[in-house]
């Protein structure tokens, strides 16, 4: 259920919040709070206590048996007594975001969380770094949410609450809706996944992350421009809805794939597209680990089902996009499409094969990279699996 207050109730709580002790939240925590507010994280009513944190890390299950794959936590510098009420402030904007009544204040084993959720405690992993950089204590308890930050204003035609996406699906008569998670512009592989999903679904929900990414990823406004252009020119718009959500990427690979499916369920989707290296980073996960983890779930854990799609590529002999399941040709006949490879090539001013992405999208991306100063260009390492080699 949404925890976002509005109208007179919000004004009263906002006035009261200004008199409470202030806790400054990270960007990740702020995004999590907004998702709690708009109903994206239903049935959660606040940040997790210690037992729920531990159960989610170890077993993907809260103390009441609710399935949840990644801890939703808030950290503080000093120990707070149960019953303390606090004002939650965005560290990015200094805006009052909400209030919280502390039920519990506890320390966590950060390596325990990282090894279970991220499968590594390596601080080079951006998600692990988020956990390791948390403050000393976590606080658990219910929240009241007072703001959606800058997202509704900065992305007025994209940012959506679950109630809004569900209303569109209902109005269009869709009962099977496939969600496509995007943090990058759509290259031909993403487009192929989307169109496969459309063949077996009533509609497609292109759901873009508009929170923070790691250095080297393409900014949200550039990605939005690319995707809007692609949808306008190459999709039946009556069967596509684009939306945006306010989370930061955690790059948790398989666990994050489950989180993506879980909150897409709240947005009204029946299926979640899971392709190669979903929500991965570097070489921490195998190319299909995110698909395999769905098979580990118990009955009833998720209503939103996985739509698994094999490794896709451009085949010169087939004359189009294909997958390992459909193409009989050899590796040298195939162009494997990787967002990482595309970013690296564009940032270095290299040639990009025409088959990699639609020309209208490449034009937008070349303009973006051409406008960057050299010191702003972040080196992007080629992903080990971009060549189509299987993990040893």
pLDDT digits (tens, 9 = 90+) for 127-146: 999 999 999 999 999 999 99
Q: Are 39 and 268 in contact (CB under 8 A)?
A: no
pLDDT at 376: 57
Asked if the structure places residue 243 within a domain, the reply is yes
What Å distances lie between residue 178 and 175, 213, 243, 269, 313, CA to CA?
10, 24, 13, 6, 21
pLDDT at 373: 67
Mapped onto helix, strand or coil, the DSSP state of residue 370 is helix
Asked if the structure places residue 72 within a domain, the reply is yes
**Is residue 56 within a helix (H) or strand (E), and if so which, with residue range?**
helix 50-59
The answer, yes or no, to whether residue 390 has pLDDT greater than 90, is: no
The answer, yes or no, to whether residue 104 has pLDDT greater than 50, is: yes
pLDDT in tens, 34-68: 999 999 999 999 999 999 999 999 999 999 999 99
Which of 96, 128, 147 is where one domain is finished? Answer: 147
One domain for residues 139 and 269: no
d(Cα 365, Cα 339) in Å, to the nearest integer?
Answer: 12
CATH number at residue 220: 3.40.50.620
Which of 147, 170, 185 is where one domain is finished? Answer: 147
pLDDT at 347: 77
d(Cα 314, Cα 140) in Å, to the nearest integer?
Answer: 48
One domain for residues 267 and 314: yes
Judging by DSSP bridges, how do beta strands 22-25 and 85-90 pair with one another? Answer: parallel
One domain for residues 135 and 163: no
One domain for residues 163 and 187: yes
Which of 93, 127, 147 is where one domain is finished? Answer: 147
pLDDT, averaged across the chain:
92
The answer, yes or no, to whether residue 1 has pLDDT greater than 80, is: no
One domain for residues 298 and 341: yes
Active site positions, annotated: 183-184
pTM of the predicted model as reported, rounded to 2 decimal places = 0.92
One domain for residues 356 and 386: yes
One domain for residues 215 and 131: no
**Structurally, how many domains does the chain consist of?**
2
Q: How crowded is residue 157: how many other Cβ atoms within 10 Å of its Cβ?
A: 10
Distance of CA 89 to the CA centre of its chain: 22
Asked if the structure places residue 2 within a domain, the reply is no
Which of 147, 155, 173 is CA-nearest to residue 210?
155
Structure tokens belonging to residue 116: 């279970």
One domain for residues 17 and 158: no
Which of 11, 10, 211 is CA-nearest to residue 92?
211
One domain for residues 307 and 326: yes
pLDDT at 374: 64
pLDDT at 261: 98
One domain for residues 199 and 262: yes
Share of the chain above pLDDT 70, in %: 94
d(Cα 355, Cα 321) in Å, to the nearest integer?
Answer: 9
Q: How crowded is residue 52: how many other Cβ atoms within 10 Å of its Cβ?
A: 22
- DSSP code of residue 4: B
CATH number at residue 105: 3.10.400.10
One domain for residues 159 and 284: yes
What Rg value do the Cα atoms of the chain yield, rounded? 21
d(Cα 44, Cα 39) in Å, to the nearest integer?
Answer: 9
Sheet architecture: strand order including 305-308? 240-245, 203-209, 177-182, 271-274, 305-308
Domain containing residue 94: 7-147
């Amino acid at each position: 259920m949404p925890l976002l207050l509005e109208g007179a109730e919000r004004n009263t709580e906002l006035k009261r919040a200004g008199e409470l002790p202030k806790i400054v939240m990270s960007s990740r925590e702020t995004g999590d709070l907004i998702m709690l507010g708009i109903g994206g994280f239903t049935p959660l009513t606040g940040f997790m206590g210690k037992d729920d944190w531990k159960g989610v890390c170890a077993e993907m299950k809260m103390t009441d048996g609710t399935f949840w794959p990644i801890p939703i936590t808030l950290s503080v510098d000093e120990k707070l007594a149960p019953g303390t009420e606090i004002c939650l402030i965005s560290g990015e904007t200094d805006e009052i975001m909400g209030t919280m009544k502390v039920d519990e204040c506890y320390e966590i084993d950060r390596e325990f969380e990282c090894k279970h959720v991220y499968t590594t405690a390596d601080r080079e992993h951006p998600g692990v770094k988020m956990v390791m950089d948390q403050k000393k204590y976590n606080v658990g308890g219910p929240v009241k949410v007072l703001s959606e930050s800058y997202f509704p204003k900065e992305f007025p035609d994209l940012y959506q609450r679950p109630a809004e996406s569900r209303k569109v699906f209902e109005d269009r008569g869709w009962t099977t809706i496939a969600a496509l998670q995007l943090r990058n512009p759509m290259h031909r592989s993403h487009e192929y996944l989307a169109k496969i999903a459309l063949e077996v679904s009533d509609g497609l929900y292109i759901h873009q992350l508009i929170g923070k990414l790691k250095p080297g990823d393409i900014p949200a406004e550039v990605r939005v421009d690319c995707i809007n252009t692609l949808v306008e020119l190459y999709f039946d718009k009556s069967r596509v809805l684009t939306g945006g959500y306010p989370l930061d990427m955690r790059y948790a690979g398989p666990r994050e794939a489950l989180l993506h499916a879980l909150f897409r369920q709240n947005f009204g989707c029946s299926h979640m597209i899971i392709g190669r290296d979903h929500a991965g980073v570097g070489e921490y996960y195998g190319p299909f680990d995110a698909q395999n983890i769905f098979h580990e779930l118990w009955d009833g854990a998720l209503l939103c089902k996985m739509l698994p799609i094999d490794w896709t590529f451009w085949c010169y002999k087939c004359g189009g996009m294909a997958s390992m399941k459909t193409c009989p040709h050899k590796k040298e006949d195939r162009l494997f499409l990787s967002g990482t490879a595309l970013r690296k090539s564009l940032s270095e001013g290299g040639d990009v094969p025409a088959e990699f992405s639609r020309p209208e999208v490449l034009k937008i991306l070349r303009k973006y990279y051409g406008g960057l100063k050299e010191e702003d260009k972040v080196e992007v390492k080629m992903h080990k699996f971009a060549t189509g080699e299987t993990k040893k």
